[in-house]
Structure 1
């Protein structure tokens, strides 16, 4: 009986090799199929978890958005038309989150429908006050010597026109930032603080302001200023919402509302309402509250431009370092991590520490129950609005004239 040989391998050998090849291919196919099924199951589980988390986050955000100031609520509760395109869907979401200034930036506005831009502009007008460009004195009254020459009592600084929040940022507004994953979006944070973000948690260990519980603010505190946030948290929120923290000169100018005088230093108010202290116009220690108040209370103490509670309720972070704008007559050597805070708080006892001139400071990582913030944005960062000019209204001019007569 002949034995057939093919290429040096017998028929029996071919049968064996073919069987091994079939077995190998079967094992590879089974392995690949298993991987595919596992990936499919994992992907499905991830998708379901993502959808559930997104729905929960959206529901949480919606439940809190109804507790904001009426000016925000009237814009933030409009339903999204299911027939609009993706860009309008995103624009609607940003309006609900209070991120209207992002839509008004030149790079974005050109792709946004005109009716959405109109609503964003209306929200800007309702929620922020326009502070015109001009000079202001920063560091006035910070020196101990009563005989100090006027030209050394503070520095005259030019400030470009800008918008400032009418109200301090509330718990409800900050909740939207938390729900949107603001503590997980590293691009919003200053690079040096990224390793410490995990330490910025509430009283139950969840990312958020220090005195919150279970990732949300305490009941009845929706319209109170958010506190227990450090300078870095305030700056990250400001970036997310499309704004920034005001500089020290901007904050002083918005509160003191200087009266420009030709050939002389401007005249500016000691308090937003005038020269005389009045504890009924602000939430300080003498008001007897013992804690924060809703941001829209104490309307008699608002500034000429319409900013509420620049004095009292909570200290406010600015973007400037503590001492950066002091007079050169008595320079201070300070820790570079100290940031400026302005305005006094509910527990401020001394009247002198609750004026437009007084500057205090704290560590940038401090998360205290009496420090909050408000946001600003430069006029040059937004699309032009023909209905709003960086000039004073007739009422503001009249107020200036009356103030100048009293102080001269």
Structure 2
């Protein structure tokens, strides 16, 4: 129905109504009034239809299934694709590649960006295969007679671990990205205290920064002065998490399974003999942090750097959670586990893969940092990567040297 036809009919109807009324022809006037109402209702329906289905109106009727989408539809689809690519680029630039590889997000990301994310994952993280590891070994001095602890055998699922400790440069992206303002990233119990997590000038950020920035030349050094909650929030922001104690120990000691026996694992990532030239501890004489890619001779079998030395590392576990049952620890529930030793750690016995220290979750110290992890099951399968082989089984202790060399 054309709106101009409706208009002409309306004018004619009004004229006829006036003439009819003046001539006293009541029934003619009534009929004309009903005609006007009908035409008006038809026009309103017509307008509603054209507003709701503009593409169909423009083509003179409803579009068939095989017809070409309208310009507005194509524009909307193109804009959605561009927005998705822009978001993917931003997340890659921020180092949040693992978020793109999560199944919930990967389905809406173009394949080329998924491949870039997978390449970054392989470059920045090391794959630690699943298997058994031993926690809580050592000598207990909690009694008058020292007691050797065999530890507990714990099963660990396969996971990825950061090759390096999180740096100032990486954490600065989190600060610039509004990480301290995104409440969903933080554990609920610490939200009221977020305003206290500031640097020396009162800006949101690690304790020893100034004006929201790290010291010049410290970009590749591990971030310090962050509490456990700050480390956990950063990990969520990049799509990862803090490693558990068993995961951290397994990545450093790299256990070798023995048939029918407990696995054999290293005291240090490089072996059983302490070597101060392989790590940044007190004996090295540095007296401060160093870039996270130094001391390459001290990396683990899987390729993780500085698991021992430079800075202590927060884990997701509570302090004492994996200690021997014969010497239980009764501690404040706010204590969290620390692993690996730092630049100011004096005793080598406190820098083994199995040694556990701890501190309050809100502690922000200059010798404590962290690295992140993510489970294999949390990511989309990498079709280009061959299935990981299980750790080699050895039949005797003589074969151990060949397997681990």
Is the TM value for this pair above 0.5?
yes
Q: Verify: 1:189 aligned to 2:186, yes or no.
A: yes
Q: Deviations over 1:229-275 (max 9, x none)?
A: 00000000000000000000000000000001111110000000000
CA–CA distance in structure 2, aligned partners of residues 205 and 86 of structure 1? 35
TM-superposed CA distance for 1:194, in Å, is 0.2
Contact 1:344 1:354 in 2 (8 A): yes
Deviations 1:162-203 (A, max 9, x none): 000000000000000000000000000000000000000001
Tell me which of 151, 173, 176 is aligned to 1:176: 173
Other structure's SS at 1:183 match: coil
CA–CA separation in structure 2 for the residues paired with 1:138 and 1:401: 24
Partner of 1:153: 150
Residues 1:135 and 1:390: Cα distance change in structure 2 (over 3 Å):
farther
Say if 2:226 is the partner of 1:202. no
Whole-angstrom CA distance in 1 between matches of 2:354 and 2:269: 11
C-alpha separation in 2, matches of 1:137 and 1:266: 8
Contact 2:160 2:375 in 1 (8 A): yes
Q: Give the aligned partner of residue 107 of structure 1.
A: 104
Q: Compute the displacement of 1:392 (Å).
A: 4.5
1:271-304, CA deviations, whole angstroms, 9 ceiling, x for partnerless residues? 0000000000000001111100000000000000
Q: Over aligned residue pairs, what C-alpha RMSD do you find?
A: 2.3
Q: Which residue of 2 aligns with 1:4?
A: none
Count of aligned residue pairs for this structure pair: 322
Report runs of 4+ in structure 1 exceeding 4 Å deviation.
145-149, 392-397, 400-407
SS in 2 for 1:357: coil
- Secondary structure (helix, strand or coil) at the match of 2:374 reads strand
Q: Is the 8 A contact 1:340 1:361 kept in 2?
A: yes
Which of 191, 208, 211 is the equivalent residue of 1:211?
208
Structure 2 counterpart of 1:378: 375
Paired position in structure 2 for 1:249: 246
Conservation of the 8 A alpha-carbon contact between 1:159 and 1:249:
yes
Inter-partner Cα distance in structure 2 for 1:332 and 1:247: 18
CA contact (8 A) 1:103 1:112 kept: yes
Inter-partner Cα distance in structure 2 for 1:326 and 1:228: 27
Alignment correspondent of 2:275 = 278
User: Is 2:313 the partner of 1:343?
Assistant: no
Contact 2:243/2:373 (CA < 8 Å) preserved in 1?
yes
1:395 offset after TM fit, Å?
Answer: 11
Secondary structure in 2 matching 1:176: helix
CA contact (8 A) 1:143 1:153 kept: no
Instruction: Please give the secondary structure, in 1, of the residue aligned with 2:203.
Output: coil
Matched with 1:323 is 320
- Among residues 131, 134, 141, which one is paired with 1:134 in the alignment? 131
Task: Render the CA deviation track for 1:14-60: whole Å, top value 9, x for unaligned.
Answer: xxxxxxxxxxxxxxxxxxxxxxxxxxxxxxxxxxxxxxxxxxxxxxx
| 1:297–1:325 Cα change, 3 Å | same
Task: Give yes or no for contact 2:241–2:372 (8 Å, CA) kept in 1.
Answer: yes
Partner of 2:291: 294
8 Å CA contact 1:257–1:272 kept in 2: the answer is yes
Contact kept? 2:256, 2:392, Cα under 8 Å: no
Structure 1's unaligned 5+ residue stretches are 1-81
- Which structure has the greater CA radius of gyration? 2
CA distance in 2, matches of 1:268, 1:341: 20
The alpha carbon displacement at 1:389 in A equals 4.9
Q: Distance in 2 between the 1:148 and 1:373 partners?
A: 31
Cα separation, partners in 2 of 1:122 and 1:236, compared to 1, 3 Å: same
Encode CA deviations 1:123-155: one digit per residue, 9 max, x unaligned: 000000000000000111152388857xx5211
How do 1:3-22 and structure 2 match up within 5 A? none
Partner of 1:220: 217
C-alpha separation in 2, matches of 1:291 and 1:355:
20
Offset, 1:391: 2.6
- Give the direction of change, closer, same or farther, for the CA distance of 1:246–1:205 in structure 2 (3 Å limit): same
CA distance in 1, matches of 2:194, 2:157: 33
